[in-house]
Amino acid sequence: MTASVIVVGAGPVGLSAALAAASLGLTPLVLEARRRDDERPGSRALFVHRATLRHLDAVSPGLGARVARDGLTWGTHRTLWAGREVHRRSFPPGEGPPPFTSLPQTALEDLLREACESSGIPVLWGEAVVRAAGRPGGALVRTASGAEHRAGHVIACDGPRSAVRAGLGVAMEGATSSAEFLVVDVDEGAVPAAPERVFHYRHPALRRNVLLVPFRGGWRIDVQCRPDEDAARLTGRIGDWLPLAVPHLRAPRVTWTSAYRFQQRVASAFTDPYGRVLLAGEAAHLLPPFGARGMNSGIADAVAAAHAVRDDAVRRYAHERRRAAHRNVTAAASALGHLLAPRLRQRVAQRTAALAAPLWPAAGRWLDAAPYGPRLRAVRY
């Protein structure tokens, strides 16, 4: 098969890029370093936004509806301060796609792979790309096996340690948060708890910020480490504090843990000098998880990249998606500051809002914004 576009990476962003390319009449080929049956631990990205569901329906009719059906949408989210509720919002289901659905990234990848197989899109598994270079009239991709692949364009979706980006000499610009966080996935058990998102400022038992997010089949617990401890120590004591974090679950069983620091980085360029190699997803930007911007913005990149290849609009893609990435970084940084409150005046503002929330609902809504950050209306994810 002669491909018009090579997609590097078979995660959600890469598979979405391949589906988008095929839907536009291009002939994609996907190269993936992992073997097809390699284990994919953890839920990783959870939220799929309504805009992303619409993107998926556009590139593969019915796919967004299947993702929404297999995921979980809850109608209530709550925010508490030291165990006292300061904000609650409930909303009934509406017409059309839900505002979001929550399911493990592995489940989303399975649905995307099925869609690619149904569309006849070839995926070469265990074919790690070591370099991709643009040149006048096309691009050349080399893999660790020594194979060479040629195409008109390459869409690099090979993640935060992108070999394609490194080969282009493109730097990641930005910062990494000093605060550590621990994420724990637990099985929902035989008696599932009522699905609602709960955010704790200063959890009364754990004395730290804790976010509880349900997804299809389990719960995610996101715990902020204190400045004087590291995530490894907190992980070692997980049996002590986990039952306190999720008292609504009986004998929670841990299925995955991971420690991380928030990244706020954007590639210095989203394409090569010839406009033949396009960076997308975490190959192009690393974002904190506030507002579930990472995977959702990556899938928006993927769809935009396929259109840019078809329409010979790579430069416009690079400008617009880099601008969107910077807007997402700015919004996530604002949310991070809201969550961590490193300055005394921020902590005073939080405490004042918590005291005022019972009489002034706007104060509770302001506290509730911490896990998401400001909404972006001018620029799509």
Per-domain residue ranges of the chain = 5-76+93-174+264-331
Of 311, 321, 284, residue with least CA distance to 20? 311
* pLDDT given at position 379: 42
Sheet with 138-143: list strands edge to edge: 129-135, 138-143, 148-151
pLDDT of residue 24: 98
Q: Categorise residue 33: left if φ over 0, alpha if ψ from -120 to 50, beta otherwise.
A: alpha
Give the separation between CA 63 and CA 107, rounded to whole angstroms.
13
Under a CB-based contact definition with an 8 Å cutoff, are residues 130 and 145 in contact?
Answer: no
Q: What global pTM score does this model have? A: 0.91
Residue 171 confidence (pLDDT): 96
- How confident is the model over 177-236, as pLDDT tens digits? 777 888 899 988 766 678 899 999 999 999 889 999 998 888 999 998 887 777 888 888
d(CA 141, CA 154): 8
| pLDDT score at 373 | 56
Per-residue pLDDT of the chain (381 residues; tens, 9 = 90+): 678 999 999 999 999 999 999 999 999 999 999 998 887 765 577 889 999 999 999 999 999 999 999 999 988 989 999 999 999 988 777 677 788 899 888 899 999 999 999 999 999 999 999 999 999 999 999 999 999 999 999 999 999 999 999 999 999 999 887 778 888 999 887 666 788 999 999 999 998 899 999 988 889 999 988 877 778 888 888 988 999 998 888 888 898 888 887 788 999 999 999 999 999 999 999 987 666 778 999 999 999 999 999 999 999 999 999 999 998 888 877 777 787 788 899 889 999 999 999 999 999 998 887 766 555 443 455
Return the pLDDT at 376.
45
* pLDDT for res 331: 80
- How many Å apart are CA 145 and CA 169, to the nearest integer? 22
Quickly list DSSP for 334-359.
HHHHHHH--SHHHHHHHHHHHHHTTT
Q: What is the mean pLDDT of the chain?
A: 89
> pLDDT at position 90, please?
87
Q: Output the pLDDT for position 377.
A: 46
- What pLDDT score was predicted for residue 22? 98
* pLDDT at site 56: 97
Query: Any idea which fold 5-76+93-174+264-331 has?
Result: FAD/NAD(P)-binding domain (3.50.50)
